[in-house]
Amino acid sequence: MTQTTAQPAHAPGTAPSGSAGKPKAFFSRYRPKVESLITCTTLAIIFLVWFEVTRRQVVPKIFIPSPHDVLMGFNETIFTGYHGKGLAYHCLVSLGRVLLGWVVACFLAVPLGLAMGLSSKVRAVFDYLIEFYRPLPPLAYYTLLVLWFGIGELSKVLLLFLAAIPPLTIGAVEGVREISPSVIQAARSLGANSRQVFYRIILPATTPAIITSMRISLGFTYTVLVAAEIVAATEGIGWMVWDASKFMRSDIIFVGIITMGATGIGLDACLRIAARRLLKWKYN
Amino acid sequence: MQTQEGHLQVVNAVKIYDPGGANVCAVDDCSFEIKAGEFVAIVGPSGCGKTTLLNMTAGFEDTTAGEILMDGKVIAAPGKVPVPGPDRVVVFQAGALFDWMTVLENIVFGPVSTGAMTARDARAKALDLIRGAGLAGYENEYPIRISSGMKRRVEILRALINEPKTLLLDEPYRAMDAITKAVMHKFLLDVFDRVHKTVMFITHDLDEAIYLSDRVGIMTTRPGKFKTWINVDLPRPRDFTIKKTPEFLEYKRATLEAVHEEAKKSFERGEREGA
């Protein structure tokens, strides 16, 4: 038995009965302190190197802007705006596109993935279609989408939607496959009908896999954002980065990348928190 | 015994997987009977068809030939769509608790799903069972938070709440350490002395088989058939001290001999097949 130093304060939901059964293995939510120290040091070193390199003008400003330039870039984009629109606006526009594509994909692809996991016939229809387009670079078929659906919002959201699908279906299929057959047999043996087996056994059992695939899917959708916004867009954070590169505004590029990174982490954190709430039985 | 229900008859049961193809004969012409309220242990080498036999009885698979009856009613026959049900609940080898339900929710799952009890009645009965099993205070815990021995107890309670006619146990204590196993044996013996259900207990642990059961059936290697039956006339209620009595050791000697003959045969056949 090992004593963990950083044990999360266990919030008792109903009764303090939990303390009676001391859990042997426990996923500590917080990493041990040494690791966080290492992470902070790494970040500090990167920042220092960045600071020094730009201060001594080792590389021209045009390639790597100084921290100060980037800060000014933030100042400019937030308060003056980039091409008339503030950073927050560009950010929201992009987030809207990503979330719209991803949410619609979730509603369609998760049930589809479950159906694929449960029926080999449904899998036979969709498996190869998805496997075929999954490894394609999104830009390759984006041209087709633009050709078919025009250069407006529809083709952009559609591209993000398509990018979001494969991780979701694969995750749901794997989730179903990982259910132990004896769990389903146990439910049937206890007298559950197929509806009850689906809603009370299969659905909750696959939820962890589905949430993980939702996180992966959102991350991947986010990476396609810039591609979606380089064709005939006039707003959006991806477009801003693309546009800034044409004017050699590396400070704005940095602003855009840092913003995208932070937003990505934020989105993922939201999903992680939701997962913890939803999957009390797993994280406890 | 007190109970009349739960009389199991296996009549010339045959199970062949993939006939015409791989044609694996898992169970070959098995016939035996488990009287109502009798505790029968079935022992045999790995892959001898013990689990197939249990799956057919549980209603997960049909038979290729022959039938299985409970209280005179056919529950498995060739081509009959198998229907599992809460009258013969299975407790599985690897454990099959629903991790997303609390101990209490797991136990009430059966009767509430079938509509046999209202949620309130099921809850009250489940709490009774939980207390009786020494699990009071754990009813709202998720399975991840309780020990493997406790999980197994919950699984047995989850079966018992349905008032099944028979309990089908498929090597439930397989991967347990000696101490947990001893606790579980005691628990199962206590439960059996109280409710006297028909029990079909699959295992490959001879000690366990003799210690718990009224009768031990020893199966041959594939195709699975019964080689011998040994009646265990040890008094009940039993506790671990019985394992040290000469009678127990005599039963153990008899079963060991039968099993060893089988093991030797299967080893020799393995040699032949490998050559």
Q: Which of B144, B162, B200 to mutate to test the interface with A (most CBs of A within 10 A)?
A: B144
In the block, residue with structure tokens 């042997």: A24
Indicate the residue type of B66.
G
Q: Strand pairing partners for B33?
A: B9
pLDDT digits (tens, 9 = 90+) for A205-216: 999 999 999 999
Look at B94 and A191 and tell me if their CB atoms are within 8 Å: no
The label of the residue with tokens 């709490």 reads: B127
Lowest mean pLDDT among A138-142, B102-106, B153-157: A138-142
Q: pTM of the full predicted structure?
A: 0.80
Determine whether the interchain pair B141/A18 forms a contact, defined as Cβ–Cβ distance below 8 Å.
yes
**Higher per-residue confidence, B21 vs A161:** A161
Tell me which residue of A188, A24, A181 sits closest to B148, measured CA to CA: A24
The per-residue pLDDT for A32 is 66
Q: Are A158 and A149 in contact (CB under 8 A)?
A: yes
CB contact under 8 A, A20 and B100: no
Residue B197 has pLDDT above 90, yes or no: no
Residue B216 identity:
V
The pLDDT of residue A4 is 41
Find the residue in A nearest to B157 (Cα).
Answer: A190
Q: Nearest CA of chain B to the CA of A12: how many Å?
A: 11
Q: Is B219 helix (H, G, I), strand (E, B) or coil?
A: strand
Surface of B (79-98) touching A: CB under 8 A: 84-86, 88-90, 92-94, 96, 98
- pLDDT cut 70: percent of chain B above it: 96
The answer to whether A21 touches B146, Cβ cutoff 8 Å, is: yes
Other Cβ atoms closer than 10 A to B17: 14
- With tokens 């704005």, the residue in question is A252
The H-or-E segment that residue B81 falls in is none
* Residues of chain A contacting B104 with CB distance shorter than 8 Å: none
Least confident segment among A149-153, A167-171, A210-214: A149-153
Is residue A95 scored above 60 in pLDDT? yes
Give B271's pLDDT tier (boundaries 50, 70, 90): low
Provide the token pair at A146: 């633009």
CA distance B87 to chain A (A): 8
Give CA–CA dist B185/B39, Å, rounded: 13
> Using one digit for the tens of pLDDT, what is the confidence trace for A217-267?
999 998 898 888 888 788 999 999 999 999 889 999 999 999 999 999 999
In this prediction, residue B270 carries a pLDDT of: 67
Which chain A residues are Cβ-neighbours of B98 within 8 angstroms? Answer: 183, 186-187, 200-201, 204-205
Is any Cβ of chain A less than 8 angstroms from the Cβ of B118? no
The verdict on a CB contact (< 8 Å) between A23 and B162 is: no
The confidence band for B273, taking pLDDT boundaries of 50, 70 and 90, is low
**Chain B hits for A26, Cβ within 8 Å:** none
Q: Express each pLDDT in A5-48 by its tens digit.
A: 444 444 443 344 444 444 444 555 555 688 889 999 999 999 99
Determine contact, residues B13/B68, Cβ cutoff 8 Å: yes
**d(C-alpha A194, C-alpha A205), whole Å:** 15
Q: What pLDDT, on the 0 to 100 scale, is given for residue B1?
A: 43
The predicted structure's pLDDT at residue A195: 94
Neighbours of A8 (CB within 10 A): 12
Contact A190 B158 (CB under 8 A): yes
Instruction: Please report the ipTM that was assigned to this predicted complex.
Output: 0.85
